[in-house]
Structure 1
Amino acid sequence: MRKFLALALFLFLLQSVAFAAGAGPVKIAAFDPNEAVKNSEPGAEAIKQLEAKLKPESDKIERERKEFIKLQENFQKQAFGLAPDARQDKERELRRKEFELTENMRRFQNAANREQSSKLSEIERVLGEAVRDYCAKNGVTLLIAKVPGITYYVEPSSDITKIVTLELNKAWHKRSAK
């Protein structure tokens, strides 16, 4: 039902774009914004900086995870030989460590998301400007973002992701030169 409504809305919007264009040709294109940012020079640089900045914390969490797994395995091996009180103490300790690990992972993920958002926000702003300029220069009437689960197929001749990536690189260098 949702897909049908989305398709109906898309066709309605497409029809209104055709009428707005006034019987002229309608040029439709599509691009993958995530791929354009990832493959662009500023995007690749931002991703590299982000990975370098987050690597120490990521490594620390991975070490903690491995230590927790070892503790769990040791407990399972020793559980039958422990007194009931000692077993409860070990279980409590394991639950506490599991909670700490989960919290550390959650905090790390939130920090990584914030950092990624701050790094990519300027690039995405420049991408928006580059896309608008490209569409205006090349007479693109409707530009669709290729989003997994929403856009299933785009004719390769209508896919302008590589062109948009090049335009983003140019716009980024112009922005840097100002």
Structure 2
Amino acid sequence: MNRTQSLVSAFGAGIVALSTLSGVAQTAPAPAPAAAAPAAVAPQAIPAKIALIAFEQAVVATNEGQRSVLEVQKKYEPKKAQIDTQSGEVESLKKQLQAAPATMTDEDRQSRLRTIDTKEKQLNRDAEDATNAYNTDLQEALSKVAQKVSVTMRDYCQKNGYTLLLDVGGQQSNVLWANQGTDVSQAVVQAYNTTSGVAAPAPSAPSATATPRPRATTPAARPAAK
């Protein structure tokens, strides 16, 4: 299984060109004394107000994020059914071989083993290809949602006076403990649902024969620093 990669932000730098004037008239009067430079203003500390967010989980929790996941899952239902059929066929051949009489010739047994091996390898290739394609489509769909959620996230923090926002959704988070009141994940989800106007998807009844679906990591698209 291939892993999804994080998005990389690019920063640009500007160059300011300076120009000088030359040529001073010989009869020009002496310049007036320069005004005294204003006294430097000492920087003032701003009270810190820190917020936490599980960004990737918040993206999936939005109504639009859930809808995107369901759309991708629906797209791959035919492929999932095909793989389930292939898997059932391989398991059936294995059971038939196990139940074969002891009088089966070695040649017949080896032939069946080769057939099972061929079909099992094909099943593994098809399942891996389908999982990779599923994860790619899911990441692309959620990446578009993440870009819009990041704008809502930034606006929410600015309006509520937060000076620092930390993402605690990843496995590498350095936050060991925090007051639950500092977690703004649900508040950002609600704010985005309100602005997006996307209704919550209708709950679907679980299938009795459903199998676990491939998992994809949500791309962590975040706003550029200002």
TM (normalized to structure 1)? 0.77
Name the structure 1 match of 2:95. Answer: 73
Alignment partners' CA distance in 2, 1:132 and 1:79:
69
Residues 91 and 159 (structure 1), Cα distance of their counterparts in 2 relative to 1, 3 Å cut: same
Name the structure 1 match of 2:118. Answer: 96
Alignment partners' CA distance in 1, 2:101 and 2:44:
78
Alignment partners' CA distance in 1, 2:44 and 2:86:
63
RMSD: 2.1
Residues 46 and 121 (structure 1), Cα distance of their counterparts in 2 relative to 1, 3 Å cut: same
Which amino acid counterpart does residue 161 of structure 2 have in structure 1?
G
Residue aligned with 1:81, SS: coil
Deviation string, structure 1 residues 69-101 (Cα, Å, up to 9, x no partner) = 111111122274321111111111111111000
Alignment of 1:6-155 (within 5 A): 22-78=44-100, 80-147=102-169, 149-151=171-173, 152-155=176-179
Alignment partners' CA distance in 2, 1:78 and 1:22:
84
**Percent of matched pairs sharing the same residue:** 25
Quick check: 1:33–1:161 contact (8 Å CA) kept in 2? yes
Residue aligned with 2:52, SS: strand
Alignment partners' CA distance in 1, 2:52 and 2:98:
54
**Highest Rg: 1 or 2?**
2
Quick check: 1:64–1:101 contact (8 Å CA) kept in 2? yes
Name the structure 1 match of 2:193. Answer: 169
> Is 2:181 aligned against 1:157?
yes
Alignment partners' CA distance in 1, 2:49 and 2:150:
19
Spell out structure 1 runs of 4+ moving beyond 4 A.
Answer: none
Which runs of no fewer than 5 residues in structure 1 stay unpaired? 1-20
Residues 79 and 144 (structure 1), Cα distance of their counterparts in 2 relative to 1, 3 Å cut: farther
